């Protein structure tokens, strides 16, 4: 993902036109490494996203909705204290550096005007957001870097801010054709053109280096050593012309593969041919929203659910191990009939046995051929006690079969329930969804109760609401507790209930209002049931449909577990685009 210095310069130019002169209205921190500034200007409200995520750091205007935590983090509170009400005075970028300096005119504690800087360092795993005071000292930063973490550059409150050490590379914007010829003349031996560009020039991503190689030679892995003298002499002129384009104009372009966002750039990319589809956007903000929106939601949910997910996975593994042991023990009980028969044979031959005897050889009257059998005995026991020992072991295994059968059935239900929780976690979209799942696990005794006094109370979440193409309301539960509420309490008896067959997923209710819905509504409801299930990546997913009155909850069943009868089965293929179109925002 080439968020290189050139791409950042294109974004910075867009921001200068949009946000310089705007005032900071609000500050939010929707994720631990993301700050959102709500800016108000003459043209309305804009939202500036600054992400220091190690995986995809960036800065751009966003239109995507975000969910903020109930308790704002300390860094967010600090930015609110110093920046709310400030005016964006200037946005600058050091030449060919992945760094943006947002200058803000603020007021200090005494109401005197001061100038602060919010630095966004967009540098991969070293990404950071840093607030500077009027004197150039660091007020605070998102990630503190001490001497143990870096000997060359510390980023700590109270220290003067210094730019990251510059990389010893050429600036492509200021590189003349003569200088390019000198640099190329110094290359000896085998060297790929894209690798040479990446090592020699600052601000270029690997994608752009490969694209320049492809544009010149038709190959992304062109070797400089195999170029003819004429072609090598033409390379400086070609590169000089391409480097001039780095100053603009730019084309925000998204690349898709099989309909899914694959990469983005500020220029067209031809090296992948027909494998990639190009889609241009009017601005870089909407381009980056389209590329990162789903990734951000997935990453945030993964971070927020990581602890619960690990706990539930451990519970699943423990339950599976317990079931394996119980099934093995159950298998051992199936040979108990032989113990009873041995007891009968010993009892029938008590007259010829003596105490201390280690074995009994007698006729097996259960054998049709009446063959003799050797039966081991305990010398410490009397003949009668030896017979009783076989009967006792027989009874023990008989009782164990009954108990183990019940335990295995109960353990199987618990394992299915825990797997349904994992499915819910994978489909969680908001903080409320996570809190609902946590509350469900706490009530079930799987998690410990947290301190209620410190926990922020959020209003109960509601099922997802959709509207079919025929205008019929469709409701989809987000988790097991919500599934129970939706199916057993909210839905009317004449409504229709849908669920994937023998696959974990959400309960789907078609609110018929007493009338039969159309075939199109039923088909769309089945698609919703397939998409909001464990089979969302599959095709032709079986979906059962039954009137709500035929859906019951067994006594003592886990949340979300129901039984149903008199149903029909259809097959649906999940369609995320349709689900998004039908969803009521």
pLDDT tops 80 at residue 306: yes
Average pLDDT, stretch 168-187? 87
- This prediction's pTM: 0.64
Is residue 454 over pLDDT 50?
no
For residue 549, how many other CB atoms are within 10 A of its CB?
A: 14
Is residue 504 pLDDT above 70, yes or no? yes
Q: How far apart are CA 408 and CA 317, in angstroms?
A: 15
CA distance 58 to 35: 11
Between CA 424 and CA 487 the distance in angstroms is 17
Nearest to 282 by CA among 290, 292, 271, 293: 290
Q: What value does the CA radius of gyration of the chain take, rounded to a whole number of Å? A: 35
pLDDT at 472 over 50: yes
Q: 401 in helix, strand or coil? A: helix
Structural domains for the chain: 5-141 (2.30.310.10), 189-284 (no CATH), 333-413 (no CATH), 464-582 (no CATH)
Using the predicted structure, report yes or no on whether residue 131 has a pLDDT greater than 60. yes
Q: What are the backbone angles phi and psi of residue 312, rounded to the nearest 5°?
A: -70, -40
| Separation of alpha carbons 583 and 370, rounded Å | 76
d(CA 529, CA 507): 7
Instruction: Give the model's pLDDT for residue 338.
Output: 86
Burial of 425 (0-12, 13-18, 19+ CB in 10 A): buried
- Residue 372 reports pLDDT greater than 60: yes
Calculate mean pLDDT across residues 398-425: 91
Q: Which pLDDT value is given to residue 176?
A: 87
- How far is residue 51 from each of residues 18, 134, 178, measured CA to CA in Å? 19, 23, 39
In percent, the amount of the chain with pLDDT more than 70 equals 98
Nearest-5° Cα angle at 213, 211 to 219: 95
Question: 305 is written with which tokens?
Answer: 């659910």
Q: What is the pLDDT of residues 50-74, one digit of tens each?
A: 999 888 899 999 988 887 877 889 9
> What is the share, in percent, of the chain residues with pLDDT greater than 90?
47
Q: Which residue reads 């909850």 in tokens?
A: 553
- pLDDT tens for 196-220 read 999 899 888 899 999 999 989 888 8
DSSP 232-272: HHHHHHHHHHHHHGGGS----EEEEETTEEEEEESS---TT
- Could you report the per-residue pLDDT of 292-303, keeping only the tens digit for each? 877 777 777 777
Mean pLDDT of all residues in 75-82: 94
Q: What are phi and psi of 253, to 5 degrees?
A: -130, 130
Residue 440: the pLDDT is: 85
DSSP of 458-505: -PPP--EEEE-TTS-EEEE-SSHHHHHIIIIIIS-TTSEEEEETTS-B
Q: How confident is the model at residue 426 (pLDDT cuts 50, 70, 90)?
A: confident
Give the pLDDT score at 511: 94
pLDDT tens per residue across span 4-38: 889 999 999 999 999 999 999 999 998 888 999 99
Provide the Cα torsion 107, 108, 110, 112; round to 10°.
-50
**Closest C-alpha to 303, from 123, 481, 431:** 431
Residue 573 burial (10 A CB sphere; 0-12, 13-18, 19+): middle
Query: From CA 522, how far away is CA 546, in angstroms rounded?
Result: 11
Strands 44-51 and 58-61, how do they pair? antiparallel
pLDDT higher than 70, residue 305: yes
- Interval 92-103: pLDDT, tens: 999 888 899 999
Q: Establish how many alpha carbons lie within 13 A of residue 264's alpha carbon, considering only the half-sphere containing its beta carbon.
A: 28
Asked whether the predicted pLDDT for residue 427 surpasses 90, the reply is no
Instruction: Report how far residue 553's alpha carbon sits from residue 481's, in angstroms, rounded to the nearest whole number.
Output: 13
């Amino acid at each position: 993902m080439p968020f290189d210095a050139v791409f950042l310069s294109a974004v910075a130019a867009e921001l200068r036109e949009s946000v310089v002169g705007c005032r900071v209205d609000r500050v939010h921190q929707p994720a631990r490494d993301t700050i959102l500034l709500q800016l108000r200007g003459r043209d309305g409200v804009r939202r500036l996203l600054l992400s220091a995520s190690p995986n995809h750091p960036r800065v751009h205007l966003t239109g995507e909705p975000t969910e903020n935590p109930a308790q704002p983090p300390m860094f967010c509170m600090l930015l609110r204290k110093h920046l709310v009400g400030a005016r964006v005075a200037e946005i600058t970028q050091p030449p060919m550096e992945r760094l943006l300096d947002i200058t803000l005119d603020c007021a200090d504690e005494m109401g005197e005007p001061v100038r602060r800087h919010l630095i966004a360092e967009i540098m991969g795993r070293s990404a950071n957001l840093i607030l500077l005071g009027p004197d150039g000292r660091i007020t605070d930063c998102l990630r503190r870097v001490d001497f143990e973490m870096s000997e060359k550059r510390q980023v700590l409150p109270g220290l003067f801010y210094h730019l990251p050490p510059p990389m010893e590379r050429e600036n492509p914007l200021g590189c003349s054709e003569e200088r390019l010829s000198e640099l190329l003349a110094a290359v000896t031996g085998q060297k790929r053109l894209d690798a040479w560009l990446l090592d020699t020039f600052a601000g270029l991503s690997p994608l752009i280096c490969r694209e320049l190689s492809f544009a010149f030679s038709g190959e992304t892995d062109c070797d400089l050593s195999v170029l003819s003298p004429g072609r090598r002499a033409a390379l400086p002129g070609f590169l000089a012309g391409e480097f001039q384009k780095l100053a603009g104009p730019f084309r925000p372009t998204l690349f898709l593969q099989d309909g899914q966002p694959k990469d983005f750039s500020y220029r067209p990319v031809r090296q992948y041919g027909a494998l990639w589809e190009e889609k241009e956007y009017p601005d870089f903000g909407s381009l980056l929203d389209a590329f990162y929106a789903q990734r951000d939601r997935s990453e945030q949910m993964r971070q927020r659910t990581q602890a619960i997910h690990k706990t539930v996975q451990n519970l699943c593994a423990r339950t599976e191990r317990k079931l394996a042991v119980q099934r093995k023990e159950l298998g051992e009980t199936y040979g108990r009939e032989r113990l009873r028969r041995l007891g009968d044979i010993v009892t029938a031959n008590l007259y010829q046995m003596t105490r201390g005897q280690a074995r009994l050889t007698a006729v097996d009257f259960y054998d049709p051929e009446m063959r003799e059998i050797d039966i081991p005995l305990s010398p410490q026991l009397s003949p009668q006690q030896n017979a009783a020992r076989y009967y006792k072991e027989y009874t023990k295994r008989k009782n164990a079969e009954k108990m183990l059968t019940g335990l295995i059935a109960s353990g199987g239900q618990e394992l299915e329930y825990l797997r349904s929780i994992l499915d819910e976690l994978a489909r969680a979209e908001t903080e409320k969804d996570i809190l609902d799942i946590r509350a469900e696990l706490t009530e079930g005794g799987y998690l410990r109760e947290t301190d209620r006094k410190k926990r922020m109370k959020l209003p109960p979440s509601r099922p997802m609401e959709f509207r079919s193409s025929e205008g019929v309301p469709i409701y989809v539960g987000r988790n097991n507790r919500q599934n129970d509420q939706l199916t057993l309490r909210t839905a009317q008896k004449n409504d229709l209930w849908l669920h994937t067959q023998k696959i974990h997923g959400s309960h789907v209710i078609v609110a018929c209002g007493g009338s039969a819905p159309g075939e199109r509504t039923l088909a769309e409801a089945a698609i919703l049931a397939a998409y909001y299930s464990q089979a969302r990546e599959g095709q032709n997913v079986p979906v059962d449909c039954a009137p709500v009155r035929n859906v019951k909850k067994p006594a003592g069943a886990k949340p979300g577990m129901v039984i149903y009868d008199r149903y029909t089965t259809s097959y649906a293929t999940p369609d995320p685009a349709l689900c998004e179109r039908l969803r009521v925002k």
